Amino acid sequence: MDNTGDSLKGEQIENFARTIVNVVREPLVILDEDLKILCWNKNFSNKFKLDENLPHDLSVFEFNKGRFDVEVLRQELENLKKTGEPLKNIPVPIFTSNTVERTFLINASKLETPTGNNVILLSCKKPKTASGLAKRDKKFMRIFNDILSQAPAYICTLRGPKHVFEVANENYLQLVGNREIIGKTVKEALPEVASQGFLDLLNKVYTTGEPFIGNEIPINLESRNGELKNSYLNFVYQPTKNARGEVEGIFVHAINVTEQVEARKLLEHSEERLQNLIDTVPAMIWITNEDGKSVYLNDNWYRYTGQAEREAEGFGWLKATHPEDMDMAEDAFRTASEKQQAYSVAFRLRNKNGDYRWVIDSGSPKFNEHGKFEGMVGTVMDVHEEKLKEQRIRESEHRIRNIVQEATVATGIYVGKEMKIELANEAMIKFWGKNPDVIGKTLREVLPELEGQPFHDLLDEVFTTGKTYWGKEDKVDLEINGKMQTGYFNFTYKPLRNENGEIYGILNMAVDVTELIKSKMQLKESETHFRQMADLMPTKVTNTDAAGNFIYFNQNWLDYTGLDTNELLKKGWINFIHPSESETFQERWQASLDSGNPFEMELRYMNKQGKYKWHLRRAEAVMNEDGSIKMWIGTNTEIQKLKEEEKRKGDFLKMVSHELKTPVTSVKGYVQLLLSLLKRDGVVVQGLPLEQSLGRMDHQIKRLTRLISEMLDLSRIEENKMELQKEIFSLNDLVSETVQDINYTNTQHNIEVHQDYKCNVQADKDRIGQVLINFITNAIKYSPDSQEIAVKVQKHKNNQVAVIVSDNGIGIDKKNHRNIFKRFYRIGGKSEDTYSGFGIGLYLANEIIQRHNGTITVKSKKGKGSDFSFILSIAQLNPENDK
């Protein structure tokens, strides 16, 4: 039997398949009707790391070590093979290597070849992340923002590995001096905290997914006047995770405990006074035994929660917590009690009125004098209030030492004229680089390197005069691990008095600000670095003061003009602008200076050879904390080649339009002649819908004619040759006639006309009709799922009339509102493949209305529809409206 025909047909099918894969970008493999491999493209080979020597006649399920032998794929392909129903975005897990498995969206469909056989095109792509929040997520975000705005604590949320501020409540904004932080990273918004360890903590929480709880952590924040203000915070860095358990950001909850920390500086040794202070603590105090059961709750707990004593016994206090927070609060406490470690947790607590309020529960392990664990002791504080009343605690000498030892601020007590070290906590000993055996020795013995430095004299003066000394960023040289090291500290020397008012010692508290000082030193070099960086930029960078006076030009500007900075300032930068754009530039630049709005304009600058080149100038205002303009930073990017390309495109369109106009007009005439003959003579051709086909052809020719007219209008505008044939006519009649004409060819949409105002205008009737047709046809085109379109004629201010075209279509992102009126501009994305057009319709409409001294406005939101309107002056008021 001769198989030559079958062989030739198979070769034709394979050549056809290879032609397809060579023009498709996404990973693609082509199968025959038996699901055997015909060929694949390069992207498919790269994606799945294929061996170039793989045979092509294998089944797709045997292919590439059987990695495509997935049950769901096998079922779908067998169904496609039988029914011809294509696969659309079927998620399938496939190994791209021996160890890496990824999920791909599989699309497949049958395609008939020129030989009459069928092949199957199978493509794969990575799944896209869903955009936008569900309604319930949006509702949750609204509730969440309400909680943030009302919470008295400092609360914010950070997003991403760079910790971008996403949300911050009013208290947090006040804490950071009401700076513009939303949308900025922590490093950008609060540069002063970078050297204080907070960025390292945030990075650790984001990386490990473990929360961080900070108690009484010192922080220096820059105030409005530029000075650094020291505060102490209790805070929680809580990682937030997505549905996959991946860390997306960090939730920050902080309380200002500066007053409490400073209050401890006032502690005296008197047992009676400390006890009185404990009794006045405005917090709920609790004590548990070694089993974790509550053995004591002060009256504040019962007054706050309304619980009875029996109800709160053991773990009964948990009944007052919010049902959603109960397990979390219990787990945090039990874990800390079992591990005998401090903890802090935030949850909602029910008060006696039945309202749930946010509180911070902080606890620490309690040991007796023998070191035996006796349970936990802690406080619950209502953080709905902005201020926490000053906590004064009166304890014995033993309790004072425990408090100092647990404090995160370096603390020491020196007694007597010789400054004997009676107490030094771990933080202070670490600063000194010593061991705990320094207790009982004098400072001169422990730190001989302080000789020749002012600190011994300062201590003696404080002990003698009783005046507190405040050291700010003082330099200290200490010997640590056998090496002299320089540090900088904020510290206090405060005299301690006995009951008779006599000074018996000095309280020393210190904060290491070495990193902060080093940062300040680095900041002095920042301006030099900025100028060097600006000189290396490929664009021309300028810097002006708030009034627009230029104070800096980068090297690219100087190279472009051939002048140095002084010569350029003296000659006047404005003189390098082309005369055609100079006046417009000065008007728009002054408007930005007055309003603070960003500046953007295309204009030509003269170079050192005397030639003008097109540039895109942009400028942004840098604001002070009070919202006033501090300065302007501008960039000028050369777009000469882009302008030349646009001109070539315009010339080409003009040529094509002229060449097409005559043959299209002839075709249109013949079609209309044939239609008239059919209608006049009643000619009928069996089986051929001639009249319907000719009608559709006539409709398409009209569309082509309109497109040619638009391209010709484009060239007329560019050459400033568009002439307006103005006359006085009824705008209302024009709207009605235009809508009626469109309704003849469009039956799928309901166009309602609302004549709320009647008037005449003096304008080019055909051109205004052209604008109206563009607005309505755009509304039809971009409303595939909505059939309702409204056209309104309304009275506008200042003796003007507005025509508004509204739809409920796909809408436009706000960022594209200005761009859609640019020549050839089309919004990117899926719509570019779905909706036809050259991007010149709105450009022409805008030019026509501007030549009538009118304006075009757009109100639109993506997914919410659009309102396009044009506004013209009224030529003659209608008497009916005057009434």
Q: Do 368 and 468 belong together in one domain?
A: no
Query: What is the CATH classification number for the domain harbouring 490?
Result: 3.30.450.20
Higher-confidence residue of 326 and 45: namely 326
Report yes or no: 186 and 199 within 8 Å, Cβ to Cβ: yes
CB-count burial class (<10 Å; 0-12, 13-18, 19+) for 521: exposed
- Confidence grade of residue 659 (pLDDT, cut at 50, 70, 90): low
With pLDDT > 90 as the criterion, what percentage of the chain qualifies? Answer: 24
- Confidence grade of residue 267 (pLDDT, cut at 50, 70, 90): low
* Mean pLDDT to the nearest integer, 55-73: 81
Task: 311-319: list long-range contacts, CB under 8 Å, 24+ apart.
Answer: 317/286
Ranges 50-59, 138-147, 242-251, 451-460: which has the least confidence: 138-147
| Residue 434 confidence (pLDDT) | 87
Report yes or no: 255 and 153 within 8 Å, Cβ to Cβ: yes
Q: Do 673 and 753 belong together in one domain?
A: no
Counting the structural domains of the chain, the total is 7
Domain boundary, last residue among 510, 544, 579? 510
Report yes or no: 350 and 356 within 8 Å, Cβ to Cβ: yes
Look at residue 433 and tell me whether its pLDDT is greater than 80. Answer: yes
Q: Do 652 and 795 belong together in one domain?
A: no
pLDDT digits (tens, 9 = 90+) for 498-544: 888 899 999 988 888 888 888 777 766 665 666 666 666 668 888 88
φ, ψ (nearest 5 deg) of residue 741: -60, -45
| Residue 879 confidence (pLDDT) | 44
| Residue 389 confidence (pLDDT) | 42
Q: Is residue 269 part of a domain?
A: no
Ranges 226-240, 293-307, 696-710: which has the least confidence: 696-710
**For tokens 């008095």, what's the residue?**
497
Q: Is residue 401 part of a domain?
A: no
Look at residue 271 and tell me whether its pLDDT is greater than 50. Answer: no
* Mean pLDDT to the nearest integer, 108-128: 80
Cα angle 779, 785, 789 (rounded to 5 degrees) comes to 35
pLDDT digits (tens, 9 = 90+) for 758-791: 999 999 888 898 889 889 988 888 888 888 999 9
Q: Do 854 and 742 belong together in one domain?
A: yes
Query: What is the CATH classification number for the domain harbouring 652?
Result: 1.10.287.130
- Confidence grade of residue 331 (pLDDT, cut at 50, 70, 90): very high
Look at residue 645 and tell me whether its pLDDT is greater than 80. Answer: no
DSSP state at residue 127: P
- Amino acid letter, 516: L
| Residue 68 confidence (pLDDT) | 84
φ, ψ (nearest 5 deg) of residue 203: -60, -40
| Residue 458 confidence (pLDDT) | 92
Pairing of β 788-796 and β 750-755: parallel
Q: Is residue 839 part of a domain?
A: yes
C-beta atoms surrounding 545 within 10 Å: 12
Q: Do 634 and 647 belong together in one domain?
A: no
Look at residue 269 and tell me whether its pLDDT is greater than 50. Answer: no
Instruction: Say what the pTM is.
Output: 0.32
Look at residue 715 and tell me whether its pLDDT is greater than 60. Answer: no
Per the prediction, the chain carries an average pLDDT of 80
Phi/psi region, residue 120 (left: phi>0; alpha: psi -120 to 50; beta: rest), is beta
Q: Do 672 and 782 belong together in one domain?
A: no
pLDDT digits (tens, 9 = 90+) for 591-617: 999 988 999 888 999 999 999 999 889
Q: Is residue 402 part of a domain?
A: no
Q: Is residue 394 part of a domain?
A: no
* Mean pLDDT to the nearest integer, 107-114: 80
| Residue 208 confidence (pLDDT) | 94
Q: Is residue 262 part of a domain?
A: no
pLDDT digits (tens, 9 = 90+) for 725-752: 889 999 999 999 888 878 876 778 889 9
* Mean pLDDT to the nearest integer, 708-735: 72
Domain boundary, last residue among 371, 387, 403? 387
Of the candidates 447, 433, 366, the one whose C-alpha atom is nearest the C-alpha of residue 399 is 366
Q: Do 627 and 682 belong together in one domain?
A: no
Q: Is residue 532 part of a domain?
A: yes
* CA distance linking residue 873 with residue 730, whole number of Å: 13
| Residue 268 confidence (pLDDT) | 43
* Mean pLDDT to the nearest integer, 97-121: 80
Query: What is the CATH classification number for the domain harbouring 747?
Result: 3.30.565.10
Q: Do 424 and 333 belong together in one domain?
A: no
Cα 711 to chain center, whole Å? 40
Q: Do 618 and 655 belong together in one domain?
A: no
| Residue 653 confidence (pLDDT) | 58
Look at residue 639 and tell me whether its pLDDT is greater than 70. Answer: yes
φ, ψ (nearest 5 deg) of residue 640: -60, -45
Q: Do 788 and 860 belong together in one domain?
A: yes
| Residue 132 confidence (pLDDT) | 43
Q: Do 146 and 205 belong together in one domain?
A: yes
Look at residue 250 and tell me whether its pLDDT is greater than 60. Answer: yes
- Amino acid letter, 774: N
* Mean pLDDT to the nearest integer, 309-313: 88
Ranges 309-313, 323-327, 661-665: which has the least confidence: 661-665
In angstroms, the Cα distances linking 576 to 583, 607, 660 are 13, 8, 42
| Residue 495 confidence (pLDDT) | 92
C-beta atoms surrounding 579 within 10 Å: 9
Q: Is residue 362 part of a domain?
A: yes
| Residue 213 confidence (pLDDT) | 92
Look at residue 826 and tell me whether its pLDDT is greater than 60. Answer: yes
Higher-confidence residue of 320 and 702: namely 320
- Amino acid letter, 724: L
Look at residue 710 and tell me whether its pLDDT is greater than 70. Answer: no
* Mean pLDDT to the nearest integer, 577-598: 90
Q: Do 103 and 163 belong together in one domain?
A: no
Domain boundary, last residue among 125, 147, 170? 125
Token pair listed for 265: 């500086």
Domain that holds residue 434: 411-510
